[in-house]
C-alpha cells in the first residue's frame, strides 16, 4: 500500500479538510508547489487560489483558499487559511455579484485611497477563483 500524507485546511471558523492524501498541490506566493509523503519540511505563505489534492482512494478534490500559510512536514500538510471553501460550498451567484462589485470599484477613474484599490483587486481575485472552481465560467 502506498504511503499517504495528512492534509488539514483550517480557517479561523472551522476545519475545512481533514483527510489522508496521496499528493497535495497549493498556490504558494512564489508559485504552485506540490507535496508528497516524505517531503522536506518547509513553511510558506499562500496566495489566493485553489488547493488540489488526491485522496487515499485516488479521488481528486479542489478547495478555494483566500490566502494564508502552509506548513509541509514529511507526513502532514497544514494550511492555515484566511478563508477556504470546498467546491460544493461555493455560492456561484454570490461570487458573480462580488465580481461585479469589485469590477465597478476598479473601473472608477481614481479610487479614494490606495487601500481601496488593493482591497478591490483582492476581492476581484477571490471572486474569479470561486467562479472558476464552481465551474461558472472559464476564467
Q: What is the pLDDT of residues 33-58, one digit of tens each?
A: 999 999 999 999 999 999 999 999 99
Q: For residue 1, what pLDDT is reported?
A: 43
Q: Could you please report the per-residue DSSP string of 53-91?
A: EEETTS-EEEEEEEEEEEEEETTEEEEEESSEEEGGG--
Q: Structure pTM? A: 0.76
Phi and psi angles of residue 61, each rounded to the nearest 5 degrees, phi first: -135, 155
Domains of the chain: 5-87 (2.60.15.10), 91-134 (1.20.5.440)
Please count the helices (runs of H) and the strands (runs of E) in the chain: 2, 7
Amino acid at each position: 500500500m502506498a504511503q499517504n500524507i495528512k492534509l488539514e485546511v483550517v480557517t479561523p471558523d472551522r476545519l475545512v479538510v481533514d483527510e489522508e492524501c496521496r499528493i497535495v498541490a497549493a498556490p504558494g506566493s512564489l508559485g504552485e508547489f506540490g507535496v508528497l509523503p516524505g517531503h522536506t519540511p518547509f513553511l510558506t505563505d499562500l496566495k489566493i487560489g485553489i488547493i488540489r489534492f488526491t485522496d487515499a482512494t485516488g479521488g481528486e478534490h479542489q478547495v478555494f483558499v483566500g490566502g494564508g500559510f502552509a506548513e509541509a512536514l514529511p507526513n502532514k500538510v497544514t494550511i492555515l487559511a484566511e478563508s477556504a471553501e470546498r467546491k460544493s460550498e461555493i455560492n456561484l451567484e454570490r461570487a458573480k455579484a462580488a465580481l461585479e462589485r469589485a469590477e465597478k470599484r476598479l473601473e472608477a477613474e481614481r479610487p479614494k485611497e490606495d487601500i481601496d484599490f488593493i482591497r478591490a483587486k483582492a476581492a476581484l481575485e477571490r471572486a474569479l477563483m470561486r467562479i472558476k472552481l464552481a465551474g461558472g465560467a472559464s476564467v
